[in-house]
Amino acid sequence: MIEFKNITKSFKGKVVLNNINLKIHKGELVVLIGPSGCGKTTTLKMINKLIKPTSGDIFVNNKNIKEENSIELRRKIGYVIQQVGLFPHMTIQENITLIPRLQKWPEKKIEDRTEELLEMIGMNPGEFLNRYPNELSGGQQQRIGVARAFAMNPDIVLMDEPFSALDPISKSQLQDELFNLQQELKKTIVFVTHDMDEAIKLGNKICIMKDGNILQFDTPEKILKNPSHGFVEEFIGKNRIWNKPEFIKAKDIMITNPVVTNAERTIVQAVEIMRTNNVDSLMIVDKNLTLIGIVTLKDIRKGMDKTLKLKNIMEKNIFTVYEEDSIVDVLQEISDNNIGYVPVLTKKGALAGLITRSSLITVLSAQFLDAEEEI
């Protein structure tokens, strides 16, 4: 959808973008983030040719934008800025319909689209169509700015710190509304911010920039777990992932080598394996490491006949989770079902690890202590 190839930009001899390469796929919401002067807004404005590169090429839908008419290109790309940019002498309806009228849309189509857009952003058309911008709050004005950007139903929308001037409540509401809109409309959105919380909340992918370079471009989850650069780690905050538990997966905290055995072992053998490995449960697997049961010390104590095999006493109805399951869901299941252990499976059903109450406490306590030391 959007591709930067070897883009360099210099202003008065100063390099602002240093040979960057970036590919944004259709339907993604990509956040550009970094300290002031890192080149994020310059990158954004190059997409609609408000700024032209010193060298390199930018492609939109596989077309080099050098060959595109700048005015026509901009009319096909929505644009939202921090200052909103509404015309104060025009009504809300006139502000929203400016480009459709320039494109000579039929009047009925314009009216229908305007009402549709206002309803989309949660504003009653009958109440707001004929108002002027100065009669609206900052959050309402920004909603109109978003509606105007979507007026031509563009495939691409550029947003340059659109919510940064708003109060925290309005900002949070608009972030939620944008996220919901994106889930419904699947536009390609490039969003500039300096707020990492906002980036994590909105982005399918985050592009972290510094001094005109791209330091890391990946999903929020991967950036939080594996920052590729010392600056990235400092920028996002070392313990931020533990403030975003939905990004922590079962595989991140599981015991990776649980003690396993096969169903043909006797109770006496099982006790010896437990004693040797200092555990109170055994995962019973087949030759493909598929989990078929679990035996605990409590189960063994119930067995009067010590010659019985584990297949005769093992618990087969086991609650399990997958490696990619959120730790939030895992904790909820442990609490709801009052269980002390949860086997973790791969996508193919093989045993990958084990989560126990004690392992959870150990991992979470260690992270808490690390955070306290940094404070």
Handedness of CA 277, 281, 287, 289 (dihedral sign): negative
Clarify whether residues 11 and 75 are in a common domain: yes
Clarify whether residues 263 and 295 are in a common domain: yes
Quick check: is 198 in a domain? yes
Clarify whether residues 289 and 159 are in a common domain: no
Quick check: is 374 in a domain? no
Whole-number pLDDT of residue 239: 56
Quick check: is 292 in a domain? yes
Whole-number pLDDT of residue 188: 94
pTM: 0.67
Residue of 2, 1, 28 lying closest to 185 (CA atoms):
28
Clarify whether residues 261 and 210 are in a common domain: no
The CATH number given to whatever domain includes residue 276 is 3.10.580.10
Whole-number pLDDT of residue 374: 46
Joined tokens for residue 350: 């093989």
Clarify whether residues 208 and 277 are in a common domain: no
Domain boundary among 244, 279, 299: 244
CA 217 to chain centre: 12
Clarify whether residues 264 and 235 are in a common domain: no
Domain boundary among 223, 244, 265: 244
Clarify whether residues 293 and 187 are in a common domain: no
Q: How far apart are CA 314 and CA 296, in angstroms?
A: 8
Quick check: is 131 in a domain? yes
Clarify whether residues 204 and 331 are in a common domain: no
Domain boundary among 244, 276, 291: 244
Whole-number pLDDT of residue 244: 64
CB 314 within 8 A of CB 321: no
Q: Letter for the amino acid at 210? A: K
CB 179 within 8 A of CB 156: no
Mind listing the pLDDT tens digit of every residue in the chain (375 residues)?
A: 899 999 999 988 889 999 999 999 999 999 999 988 899 999 999 999 999 999 999 999 999 999 999 988 988 899 988 776 788 899 999 888 888 888 889 989 988 998 888 888 888 888 898 999 889 888 888 888 888 888 888 899 999 998 887 888 888 888 888 888 888 888 999 999 988 888 888 889 999 999 999 999 998 878 877 787 778 888 876 556 555 666 778 888 888 888 999 999 888 888 888 888 888 889 999 988 899 999 988 778 775 676 788 888 888 888 899 988 888 788 777 777 777 788 999 988 899 999 877 667 666 555 544 544 444
Whole-number pLDDT of residue 159: 93
Phi/psi of residue 47, nearest 5 degrees: -65, -35
Whole-number pLDDT of residue 331: 78
Clarify whether residues 209 and 160 are in a common domain: yes
Quick check: is 95 in a domain? yes
Whole-number pLDDT of residue 201: 84
Quick check: is 371 in a domain? no
Quick check: is 69 in a domain? yes
Q: How many CA atoms lie within 13 A of 109 on its CB side?
A: 10
Cβ-proximal residues to 351 (8 Å cutoff; 6+ apart), any chain:
258, 260, 283, 285, 289, 290, 291, 343, 344, 345
Whole-number pLDDT of residue 241: 54
Whole-number pLDDT of residue 368: 47
Clarify whether residues 232 and 263 are in a common domain: no
Cβ-proximal residues to 188 (8 Å cutoff; 6+ apart), any chain:
1, 2, 24, 25, 26, 27, 28, 29, 155, 156, 157
CB atoms within 10 A of CB 4: 21
Strand partners, 55: 8
Q: How far apart are CA 252 and CA 248, in angstroms?
A: 6
Q: How far apart are CA 29 and CA 260, in angstroms?
A: 43
Q: How far apart are CA 313 and CA 306, in angstroms?
A: 11
Q: What is the dihedral of CA 222, 226, 228, 233, to 10 degrees?
A: 110
Residue of 48, 37, 46, 65 lying closest to 7 (CA atoms):
46
Clarify whether residues 8 and 98 are in a common domain: yes
Quick check: is 24 in a domain? yes
- Name the domain count of the chain: 2
Clarify whether residues 283 and 171 are in a common domain: no
The CATH number given to whatever domain includes residue 192 is 3.40.50.300
CA 358 to chain centre: 30
Whole-number pLDDT of residue 243: 59
| Domain assignment of residue 354, given as a range | 251-365
